Amino acid sequence: MRSLLVRALVAALLTGLYLGLAILGGGGIDAFFSNSARTAVVVVTLALVVASLFVGGSLSSGVREDRANRWVIPVLVAIGLLGAYLPAWADREGVWRLDGDAVRWLGVALLAMGGALRLWPVAILGRRFSGLVAIQPGHELLTTGLYSRIRHPSYLGLLITALGWGLAFNTAVGVLLALLNIPPLVSRMQAEERLLSSEFGAAYDAYRAHTARLIPGVY
């Protein structure tokens, strides 16, 4: 219970910062919530944060970690903070506007679907899922369900979530910021695959040979 309360407090602080930046960029509370799609973005975000408290995951370095890849975390955080503020600001200022409410609601839908895809693997792996590139105690190679087709479903969910957030503000600024996540995530996937290959050897190499990183038939 104490662990859950600590996680809830941290999540509340981080979510408050993230949404606060978006509301600031959008011109304040009244201006931000004057649009129903932006209001829906907040509702979906809060629902995903609450769900994340109950699906597991950790920041454990486990029994073996690739510490050289830790640089990815602050980079993704920086992109995330820019992504919180700039799309809302661009929406308010009319910068690189897209095509109206249909785009906004597409973004809301992608935000919800991407968030669910991001959390699903965490729920499956539980404590084996770490925010660090690490082998956990009792780590087993999972090759069923989502993992039977793609090796990194949670990262695909993160990219879809970022794209959905950007589109919900009806500006190409958000799309470009979502794309900025790709280079650090590719580095992250490469590091994870090297670590898993060193841990599971031929079994992981065989698994990698018949699965995609993110999108079957594409990448």
Mean pLDDT computed over every residue of the chain = 95
Cα torsion through 117, 48, 140, 130, rounded to 10: 120
Instruction: Say if residue 1's pLDDT is above 70.
Output: no
Helices (H), 94-219: 101-125, 153-168, 172-179, 182-200, 202-209
CA pair distance 197, 64, nearest whole angstrom:
13
| Residue-wise pLDDT tens digits, 57-92 | 888 999 999 999 999 999 999 999 999 999 999 999
What percent of the chain is predicted at pLDDT more than 90?
Answer: 89
How much is the pTM? 0.96
Lowest mean pLDDT of 59-63, 94-98, 193-197, name the range: 59-63
What percent of the chain is predicted at pLDDT more than 70?
Answer: 99
Bridge partners for 212 per DSSP = 150
Cα 92 to Cα 33, 89, 157, 213: the distances in Å are 12, 5, 27, 36
pLDDT value, residue 57: 85
DSSP state of 49: H
Bridge partners for 58 per DSSP = 130
| Residue-wise pLDDT tens digits, 120-156 | 999 998 878 899 999 999 889 999 999 999 999 999 9
Q: Kindly calculate the radius of gyration of the chain based on its CA atoms and give it in whole angstroms.
A: 18
pLDDT value, residue 33: 98
Instruction: Say if residue 2's pLDDT is above 70.
Output: no
In Å, the largest CA–CA distance within the chain is 57
The kind and range of the H/E element at 65 are strand 64-65
154-190 b/e with 16+ CB inside 10 Å = b? Answer: bbbbbbbbbbbbbbbbbbebbbebbebbeebbbbbbe
Q: What are 190's two structure tokens? A: 């490469």
Q: Which domains does the chain have, with CATH numbers?
A: 2-209 (1.20.120.1630)
